[in-house]
Amino acid sequence: MLPLEGITVVSVEQAVAGPFATRQLADLGARVIKIERPEKGDFARHYDSAVNGMASHFVWLNRSKESLTLDLKTDEGKEILSKLLEDADVFLQNLAPGAMERLGFGANELLEKHPSLVICGISGYGSNGPYTHKKAYDLLVQCESGAMALTGTEETPSKSGVAIADIATGMYAYSGILTALLARNKDQKGRILEVSMLESLGEWMGFPSYFAEYGGKEPERTGASHATIYPYGPFVAGDQKQVYISIQNEREWKNFCEKVLGDPDLTNHPDYYNNTNRFKNQQTLQKIIEKVFLEKTSEEIIDLLEYSGIANARLNSVMDFVNHPQLEARNRWREVDSPVGKLKALLPPATFNDIEPVFNPIPEVGQHTNDILKSVGYSDEDIKAFAQNKVI
Residues 6+ apart with CB under 8 A from 262: 292
CA angle 314–320–322, rounded 5-degree value = 135
**52 to each of 55, 59, 127, 318, 381, how far by Cα in Å?**
9, 10, 39, 18, 36
Residues with catalytic function: 226
CB neighbours of residue 84 within 10 Å? 20
CA angle 196–186–110, rounded 5-degree value = 50
Evaluated on CA atoms 209, 215, 216, 218, the torsion sign reads: negative
Kindly state the helix (H) or strand (E) to which residue 173 belongs, with its residue range. helix 164-187
Burial of 296 (0-12, 13-18, 19+ CB in 10 A): middle
CA distance 126 to 96: 10
